[in-house]
Structure formats: C-alpha cells, structure tokens
A = this chain, B = another copy of it.
C-alpha cells in the first residue's frame, strides 16, 4: 500500500462525492464537477473512477444528469479500500508472494516487510469515509469550495434511475 498522487486523488474525489451526494435532491454527482472543485484533471479522474466503480465503491449513471454516487454507506468505505482500488498492487516484496526467495527460504526482507505493510494497511483500514467527511477541517475547506463554485442552474428535479 503506497501513498501516491493517484491514491490521493481517489480519496479526495471520494470525499468530495460524499460531501455532495445529497445536493440537488440526490442526483448523481458528475465527474466534471468533482474535477473542477478539486482541481484534478478530468480525464485522469475519469480513469480513477472506473477503478473505483469496478471495485464496487461507486455506482455510475450515463447520459445527461448522470454521474456517480457512493455504492455503499460512507461508514463502510475505508481509506484502504479507495487506495487499493486505484493503486493496482505492484508487489511490494519483490518475492512475488513466494516464500523461498533466498536459499530456498524466506529472506529477511520478506519477514520484515510483510509485518510492516500489514500495520500500515491496518491504519488505513481503520479510517472510513464518514470519519473524513465529519472532520472539522475538511468541512471547513468544503464549505469554502462550495461558496467559490458558481451557482449554476436552479434546483434540479429529483429523479431515480438504475445505475449502469
């Protein structure tokens, strides 16, 4: 599990999604809105959302008025879930999961690292999206971002469609 820009984008975008999920009567939140609010390249973010979707973290709707919504409750999505979804595991141990990496036994690195990465995984699994969303600092930034956003269009009509 590595902390990289890709994972950061994913967490940021998911946080934005969680924060705006109930705007406009709960209609899906569009990619371009998220990208603009969070200053993330839209085309790049689109690919990240494809991963988030294939990992079952979000649902998507196509066509006008389409966009994304969380597929599970925010309390049920951990930071680890989001990072894992976009950060396709490029094996961390160089041992390719094998146990006979040196002299037909485990190498020292192997022993050290599996424990260490598990601990980090645990930390990230222990924080969920709802924790993030309810954080005071996060709310403060979000409110400023909303204030910044142009008021585009009036209240939308509530609609329900089946996700893709």
**Which residues of A line the B interface, CB within 8 A?**
1-5, 8-9, 11-12, 15-16, 38-39, 79, 92, 94, 102-103, 105-109, 111-113, 115-117, 119-120, 123-124, 127, 132, 135, 137-138, 141-142, 144-145, 148
Q: How far is the CB of A19 from chain B (nearest CB, A)?
A: 9
Smallest CB-CB separation from A119: which chain B residue?
Answer: B123
Interface residues of A: mostly helix, strand, loop or mixed?
helix
Q: Assess the B112–A15 pair: CB atoms within 8 A.
A: yes
Q: How far is the CB of A144 from chain B (nearest CB, A)?
A: 6
**A103 to B14 Cα, complex, angstroms:** 21
Q: Which of A1, A113, A142 has the most CB of B within 10 A?
A: A113
Q: Assess the A8–B109 pair: CB atoms within 8 A.
A: yes
Smallest CB-CB separation from A39: which chain B residue?
Answer: B102
